Chains A and B, each alone.
Chain A
Amino acid sequence: MTDEQPIVFIVEDDEAVRDSLVAMVSAAGVTVESFASAEEFLAAFDRDQLGCLVSDVRMEGLTGTQLQKRLLDEGVSLPVILISGYADVPTAVDAMKIGAISFLEKPCTRQELWATISKAIATHREQRKQDAAVAEIREWFTQLTQSEREVMARLVAGQANKVIAAELEMGLRTVELRRATILKKMNADSLAELVRQSILLDQFKQEHQGISSLPPDAGAGR
């Protein structure tokens, strides 16, 4: 996955400006796909692609800021770089309020553009790596039985085995066995690792409104 090639998507309604951006990005040796409108882009782009979006702000139809919002609504993590024609502060402020975004003012140097693009791509790569890791943890988590999940919730909340045994009315030995199974199923070699995974998992569940598999009082030790 690390050697996946990024693509820079360019959305710009002025043909000359669009072609000139394609030239500038392709001169840096990066693959480019360009679109004349936000609508065209939304209809055609590969949502799993690594890369970033470079878009004009003022366009007929959906504007750059509206496009950014649409991506966010769709849950697409593609980073957005908006290029505005003139000091368009209110638009910039609006865009920054709704999400991670970079702003460039026309005309920009290739160094600026390139620095912004490579930073965006690096962020995206990082983001996708994390997304993949979370997906894996989630996958492992689904392998746990209901009883194992209850034990895990108490383990990561910092309860001692004894306390867990008492709360769940099971033998201490059983708790220890469960603990070993959980660490194995979750590919964790320590409790610390399991805690880290649970944090990612929680985030994951929040973001995707996942099944509330942890009991409501999880972690609330007596």
Chain B
Amino acid sequence: MTGMSPLSKWATMSLSGAVSIMPHAGPRDTAQHETGISDTRAETRRLRKILRAACEEAQQAREAEAWLRSLLDHVPVTIVTLDRDGTILSINRTLSGQPVDNVVGTCCLDYVSEAIREDCRQAIKEAFESGHSRRYECGKADPSGRLWEAVFTPVPIQGTVSVGVVIMQDVTERKRAEEEARDRAVESAHVHRVNMMGEMVAELAHEIGQPLYAISNFAQAGVQVLRSGQEGRGADLLAWLERISEQATRAGDIIRRLGNLMRKGQPDRVPVDLNRLIPNVIELTRPRARSEQIEITFHPTDVLPEVVVDPVQIEQVIVNLVQNAIEAMVTSQATTRQIDVSTSCLDGHQVEVAVHDTAGTLPDDLDMLFEAFYTTKPRGMGMGLAICRSIVEGHGGQIEAVRDTEGGTTLRFRLPALPGEDS
């Protein structure tokens, strides 16, 4: 006996409401014999054959039912059938552990908490009307604190939809595991981010030092002029004070950008214009690039829809990709040392960010790149791209690496665009 056949038979039986003994002796069969000559022995043989067939079928049906019953008893989900009013027609096991018979015939809405009762009623109604499955989480409904996920599927029987199947699953453990994994990912992303900052820190220290040094010099020049009572240098003093304020802003900007990347905590999604976010990130990586004689250029597309993202995470992705590009360039023999970061909008629904470098040192097995701990660098952790992928995919996007025809490398990722007001 194959696994499927009894089940499908059971379905035919129960849906037609009675066990039929006729299906295999079809109308054509019957007609043939009714017009035949009466022959008692033949008739007896025929009836016996039908009877045997019927018995066999009844036996098969019993087996099928037993098979299905044990299946229903053992699957780790709760399966309920409902009519249009939400009355429970059948249930394989109750959530509370009370006997199945107490529940059959009652309204399913009696078992959900007050808070979501109306929503459920509405959901059942809509599903029956539309004829489409609906999935919902009814976690908060359960006073025990367990999380349930229900899929409601209306079942058309002989053209009309009067029965629905609800499959309910306890997803508490799964959700908890997912949450833990998410926390761990956030934590390891933060560790990697701090590590990544470590790579940039010498250059960034220099970069913050420059404006502070300029401020100190302008201020001392002013002190010198005032102390020595030099006449007619008001214009100089004014200019120097302005430069001081400008340089204080410059230092502040660097620290602010850094602070963003160092931030720890739960991701926070907001609409972001990547054309504005990317230049900030590039400025953070520019000092290191410059010390390796690498030029970084940003090519923003004219019109770019916003994306709903966690800006810290997306900054991290871009810093990672640019760092990888810089590191690739350092080991490369390429004479052009250029990194281009560009944005583009694909058919209005997706935003793409591409980081292109002229190093062309991409390893052969592209599949491995995004795996955790895959690295070709002596001091690499191999976490950069793995984290990039988890962030991008967590935002409903994709990331890929491609070799270009001129021997360069592009790493690019796409994110769903926020639909604009006019679309």
Q: A interface vs B, CB < 8 Å?
A: 14, 16-17, 19-21, 23-24, 26-29, 58, 60, 85-86, 106-107, 109-110
Q: List 11 A-B contacts (CB under 8 A).
A: A20-B213, A20-B221, A23-B222, A23-B236, A23-B243, A24-B218, A27-B228, A85-B210, A86-B209, A107-B213, A110-B217
Which residues of chain A have C-beta atoms less than 8 A from B293's C-beta?
60
Best-buried of B212, B217, B228 by chain A (most CB within 10 Å): B217
Interchain CB contact (< 8 A) of B223 among A29, A106, A110: A110
**B120–chain A nearest beta-carbon distance, Å:** 65
Which residues of chain A have C-beta atoms less than 8 A from B220's C-beta?
24, 27, 109-110
**A205–chain B nearest beta-carbon distance, Å:** 43
Decide if B206 touches A23 in the complex (CB within 8 Å): no
Decide if B209 touches A16 in the complex (CB within 8 Å): no
Decide if B243 touches A16 in the complex (CB within 8 Å): yes
Contact mask B200-232 → A, CB, 8 Å, 1/0?
000001100111111111101111110010100
Main secondary structure of the interface of B (DSSP, over half): helix
**Cα A29 to Cα B217 with chains together (Å):** 15
Which residues of chain A have C-beta atoms less than 8 A from B118's C-beta?
none
Whether B180 sits at the interface, judged by CB under 8 Å, is no
**Cα A24 to Cα B212 with chains together (Å):** 14
Inter-chain pairs besides A23-B222, A106-B213, 11 sampled, C-beta below 8 Å: A17-B213, A17-B214, A23-B221, A26-B221, A27-B221, A27-B225, A27-B236, A29-B230, A86-B205, A107-B213, A110-B223
Decide if A107 touches B216 in the complex (CB within 8 Å): yes
Interchain CB contact (< 8 A) of B210 among A17, A26, A29: A17
**Which chain A residue has the least Cβ–Cβ distance from B209?**
A85
Decide if A16 touches B210 in the complex (CB within 8 Å): yes
Decide if A16 touches B216 in the complex (CB within 8 Å): no
Question: What total of A-B pairs shows CB separation below 8 Å?
Answer: 77
Decide if B221 touches A110 in the complex (CB within 8 Å): yes
**Cα A24 to Cα B240 with chains together (Å):** 10
**Cα A58 to Cα B291 with chains together (Å):** 9
**A98–chain B nearest beta-carbon distance, Å:** 23
**Cα A110 to Cα B225 with chains together (Å):** 12
Decide if A107 touches B212 in the complex (CB within 8 Å): yes
Whether B247 sits at the interface, judged by CB under 8 Å, is yes
Given known A-B contacts A16-B243, A107-B216, A107-B217, A27 and B210 have beta carbons under 8 A apart: no
Whether B24 sits at the interface, judged by CB under 8 Å, is no
**Cα A58 to Cα B236 with chains together (Å):** 28
Whether B246 sits at the interface, judged by CB under 8 Å, is yes
**Which chain B residue has the least Cβ–Cβ distance from A18?**
B214
**Cα A14 to Cα B233 with chains together (Å):** 24
Whether B135 sits at the interface, judged by CB under 8 Å, is no
**B289–chain A nearest beta-carbon distance, Å:** 11
Decide if A58 touches B206 in the complex (CB within 8 Å): yes
Which residues of chain B have C-beta atoms less than 8 A from A26's C-beta?
221, 236
Given known A-B contacts A14-B214, A86-B206, A107-B212, A19 and B243 have beta carbons under 8 A apart: yes
Best-buried of B205, B206, B213 by chain A (most CB within 10 Å): B213
Decide if A20 touches B217 in the complex (CB within 8 Å): yes
Whether B290 sits at the interface, judged by CB under 8 Å, is yes
Interchain CB contact (< 8 A) of B243 among A20, A107, A110: A20
Interchain CB contact (< 8 A) of A27 among B205, B209, B224, B290: B224
Given known A-B contacts A16-B250, A60-B293, A24 and B217 have beta carbons under 8 A apart: yes
Decide if B224 touches A24 in the complex (CB within 8 Å): yes
**Which chain B residue has the least Cβ–Cβ distance from A23?**
B221
**Cα A26 to Cα B213 with chains together (Å):** 17
Which residues of chain A have C-beta atoms less than 8 A from B212's C-beta?
107
Interchain CB contact (< 8 A) of A110 among B209, B213, B224, B291: B224
